[in-house]
Amino acid sequence: MAGQTIQEPVKTQQKCIAIFALLCCFAVLVVLIFSSVDILGDNEDGITEENCSKNCRIVLVENIPDDLTLSMDGRPHLPLSAGFHTLLDNARHSVEVVSPVWDLNSWDLKTKPGAAKQGQLLFQRLLSLKSRGVKLKIASSLTNSAELKALSASNAEVHFVNMTALTRGGLRSSFWIVDRKHIYIGSADMDWRSLSKRNELGVVVYNCSCLALDLHRVFSFYWQLHDRDYIPSIWSKRVTALYGKHEALELQLNATQATAYVSTSPDLFCPKDRTRDVDAIYQVIQSAKAFVFISVTDYLPLVNRSVRGTSVTRYWSPIDEVIREAVVLRGVKVRLLITFWKKTHPLTFNFVTSLKALCMQLHNCSLEVRFFSHKELKDDIQHGLNHNKYMVTDNALYIGNHDWVGSDFAFNAGVGLAVTMKKGLKDSGVTILEHVKAAFERDWRSHYAKSL
């Protein structure tokens, strides 16, 4: 009995030691997890929300193919290729690029000599970054790209994002970040066609480290997905959003007060506080008082999912419904410019016909749809293809990477930029809104834009 009495405190003591050891292990694990917050993220070059620049310059950049006859109204027009070269001219430390396509050099012998010249020049500039001591980082979902291999051999870092395993979708994001100070967001891919044969539109924002820092966090999100086949449940704090629709960045754009934030998709790619692309679009349309002008390659409010090996198509309502609400209930004028090309889904015509029918026998109701159509060659170069993906209203602007197709937002990775002017378009003078509105109206009034 005495021996048993002695053993009981010993066992109790051993249990206490074991529990204490487990608690220590748990504490160490927690420390490691939360220390990974800073290990996984980089140091962001010392740029913080407190010291970043909010006095920014924004420029509209476009590629307008030579064989498109579009009237110019004398407004400043910076070619897309010039915008990219200006960004590279400004690069001192780092260039971070995300693009769904890497085909700047044309290896097709059928291509006319010189057609890919701008793409080849840009590729050579990217190769030469090493000699200037500028670090090039690329996030891509491509597994067998000759151009990415060549850039890797020239000291670029390339991280692979396995979109098929992560979302069963694709990487559609297209943006640049230079020195965590300057950015580009738009429709153009790293494709020679985007620099010569397609209608493209985007913006370059200079000396805007606050916005660049937030976009860099999206890049860091992609960067940390390198070779993963799952999305981690614990993320670095350096990928969480700094700004969003509820707390946008207040800044100066060309000396005009504005707010801005970056949005992303799909839902799985939206860390804490990051606004979804579809919510950014929803907010911009809801805030419109007079008009909403939309230019996209494809418009299709449907989502295709695979359920137990069977393809299931469902109506995807968010954007379609907010357009209807704006037109019918608020009297906002809506113009929708869609590309007509060989990949236009037949149901597109059904949906736009349904939209147009809203204004039958209704006063103060205006919804117009036109299709932008230009010649396409058999070699799939798609000359004159309207590849734009943007929207402008009387007080805001949204430029994204997605066509307005439900499946794109549900499965594909994309990025958008939402900008709201503090004053209305009429009160602000010539702003970025005026430039984008003028670009839309030029295309809308061209002989390539045809009514349904």
Q: Are 18 and 169 in contact (CB under 8 A)?
A: no
> How much is the average pLDDT of 313-328?
96
Q: Are 219 and 174 in contact (CB under 8 A)?
A: no
**What is residue 307's predicted lDDT score, i.e. its pLDDT?**
77
Kindly give the pairing relationship between strand 94-98 and strand 175-178.
Answer: antiparallel
Could you tell me the pTM of the whole model?
Answer: 0.88
Among 157-166, 206-215, 418-427, the range scoring the smallest mean pLDDT is 418-427
**pLDDT exceeds cutoff 80 at 377:** no
| Confidence grade of residue 128 (pLDDT, cut at 50, 70, 90) | very high
**What is residue 40's predicted lDDT score, i.e. its pLDDT?**
41
**What is residue 274's predicted lDDT score, i.e. its pLDDT?**
96
| Confidence grade of residue 111 (pLDDT, cut at 50, 70, 90) | low
**What is residue 156's predicted lDDT score, i.e. its pLDDT?**
96
**What is residue 178's predicted lDDT score, i.e. its pLDDT?**
98
**pLDDT exceeds cutoff 70 at 318:** yes
d(CA 238, CA 43): 9
Strand partners, 299: 404
For residue range 9-57, list pLDDT tens digits in order: 555 655 655 565 565 445 434 433 433 333 344 556 677 888 899 999 9
Question: Tokens 């010249």 label which residue?
Answer: 117
d(CA 329, CA 352): 18
Q: Which domains does the chain have, with CATH numbers?
A: 53-451 (3.30.870.10)
For residue range 190-199, list pLDDT tens digits in order: 999 999 999 9
Q: How far is CA 248 from CA 185, 210, 243, 260, in A?
A: 17, 11, 5, 6
Q: Are 113 and 196 in contact (CB under 8 A)?
A: no
Q: Are 239 and 41 in contact (CB under 8 A)?
A: yes
**What is residue 296's predicted lDDT score, i.e. its pLDDT?**
98
> How much is the average pLDDT of 369-373?
95
**What is residue 115's predicted lDDT score, i.e. its pLDDT?**
79
**What is residue 109's predicted lDDT score, i.e. its pLDDT?**
46
**What is residue 66's predicted lDDT score, i.e. its pLDDT?**
82
Please say whether the dihedral angle defined by the alpha carbons of residues 329, 332, 335 and 336, taken in this order, is positive or negative.
Answer: negative
Strand partners, 103: 191
SS (H, E, C) the chain: CHHHHHHHHHHHHHHHHHHHHHHHHHHHHHHHHHHHHHHHCCCHHHCCCCCCCCEEEEEEEEECCCCCCCCCCCCCCEEHHHHHHHHHHHCCCEEEEECCCEECCCCCCCCCCCCCHHHHHHHHHHHCCHHHCCEEEEEECCCCCHHHHHHHHCCCEEEECCHHHHHCCCECCCEEEECCCEEEEECCCEEHHHHCCEEEEEEEEECCHHHHHHHHHHHHHHHHCCCCCCCCCCCCHHHCCCCCCCCCEEEEECCEEEEEEEEEECHHHCCCCCEEHHHHHHHHHHHCCCEEEEEECCEECEEEEEECCEEEEEECCHHHHHHHHHHHHHCCEEEEEEECCCCCCCHHHHHHHHHHHHHCCCCCCCEEEEEECCCCCCCCCCCCEECCEEEEECCEEEEECCCEEHHHHHHCEEEEEEEEECCCCCCCCCCHHHHHHHHHHHHHHCCCEEEC
**What is residue 6's predicted lDDT score, i.e. its pLDDT?**
47
**What is residue 8's predicted lDDT score, i.e. its pLDDT?**
58
Q: How far is CA 368 from CA 92, 110, 323, 356, in A?
A: 46, 39, 12, 7
Q: Does 376 or 176 have the greater pLDDT score?
A: 176
**What is residue 309's predicted lDDT score, i.e. its pLDDT?**
77
**pLDDT exceeds cutoff 90 at 325:** yes
**Could you give phi then psi for residue 352, rounded to 5 degrees?**
-70, -30
CA 163 to chain centre: 15
Q: Is the peptide bond before 113 cis (omega within 30 degrees of 0)?
A: no
Q: What is the mean pLDDT of the chain?
A: 88
**What is residue 224's predicted lDDT score, i.e. its pLDDT?**
93
**What is residue 99's predicted lDDT score, i.e. its pLDDT?**
97
| Confidence grade of residue 236 (pLDDT, cut at 50, 70, 90) | confident
Q: How far is CA 273 from CA 221, 265, 339, 398, 433, in A?
A: 14, 13, 34, 19, 26
Strand partners, 263: 275, 416
Q: Are 106 and 118 in contact (CB under 8 A)?
A: no
For residue range 81-102, list pLDDT tens digits in order: 999 999 999 999 999 999 999 9
| Confidence grade of residue 346 (pLDDT, cut at 50, 70, 90) | very high
For residue range 254-276, list pLDDT tens digits in order: 999 999 999 999 999 998 899 99
d(CA 384, CA 373): 8
**What is residue 378's predicted lDDT score, i.e. its pLDDT?**
47
**What is residue 348's predicted lDDT score, i.e. its pLDDT?**
96
